[in-house]
Amino acid sequence: MEHRRVGRSGLKVSAISLGGWLTFGGSLEDADAFRILDLAAERGVDYVDLADAYAKGRAEETVGRWLRERSPLARQRFVLASKAYWPMSEGANDRGLSRKHLFESVEGSLRRLGTDYLDLFFCHREDPEVPLEETLRALEDLVRQGKVLHWGTSCWAPATLLKAQGLARLRGWTPPIVEQPKYNLLERHVEKRIVPLARSTGMGLVVWSPLEGGLLTGKYDDGVPPGSRGDRTEWLDEMLTEENRAKLRAFSALAAEVGCRPAQLALAWALHQPGITSVITGASAPAQLEENLGALEVPWSDALAERLDALFPR
């Protein structure tokens, strides 16, 4: 497994990472989640991306139980990330990026995971109701206390990222080292401003939704199968225009020509984009994780990159 530095920090993470959204603590029983985590450990996938809001904390609890069952040494082998912003209850302060909620969120994540520290902690979205200085000071204090080693952002606007970087330098505080945007062949808008900004400020990029909700796996090339989970997703209907379906069919044909699955080609493309630190993948079974890892074996070339750019223009 290839490992990459997170921005200019000394922290390294696996190029393919494992996300716990919708699976750990949700659709999967512990036994199934443990098999996926066992395979991840075996194959060198050592970055696990979580959030307090994933299954209302149950995703973190699942990973925490797995770590305790395997051995105390398992924690040292893994880079654990969590996030805060989305509501955890009906409480007025149990959401957002206030000092109170950030401290309580980190404490909750540490308790559920059974660890003393988080390698990475993300602000899951921007919070316009909280002064940026309050958020950054709280994060600085968490870093100084050793509860958070590094922090980052997810889906922050370029202007806010620049303001945060500048404020951290001005105050002598720890700056964000990584941004986590949505990025895939069908959604490339981050290339205009986020990717250049990350390069100029030394931030890493850990990307989510590399398969665009399954659209880049080939299973929706001919539309949404009746009765499938996608059949209940209005967003999917909006995305599956005739133009996009034609692109997706051409994409699947290109994957077959290359000798891989469509999902593997989509992940390989993301892995080869400039500035990308890690690509977050989900898995509902070990076989799905194994297939995703096949992206590392896709034969890459400039000619293949050009054909994908022609199919999915910037």
- Active site amino acids: 54
Tokens of 224: 């949404």
d(C-alpha 88, C-alpha 9), whole Å: 30
- Answer yes or no: are the C-beta atoms of 36 and 65 closer than 8 Å: no
DSSP codes of every residue in 233-249: -HHHHHH--HHHHHHHH
Residue 19, φ and ψ in degrees, nearest 5: -100, 150
Q: Which residues pair with 276 in a beta bridge?
A: 205
- Identify which of 233, 232, 228 has the alpha carbon closest to the alpha carbon of residue 212: 233
d(C-alpha 143, C-alpha 136), whole Å: 10
- Answer yes or no: are the C-beta atoms of 51 and 63 closer than 8 Å: no
Q: Which amino acid is at 40?
A: A
d(C-alpha 112, C-alpha 233), whole Å: 31
Cβ neighbours, 10 Å, residue 22:
14
- Answer yes or no: are the C-beta atoms of 86 and 40 closer than 8 Å: no
| Helices 158-171/132-144 angle, 10° precision | 60
Cα angle, residue 152 at apex, residues 154 and 65 outer, rounded to 5°: 90
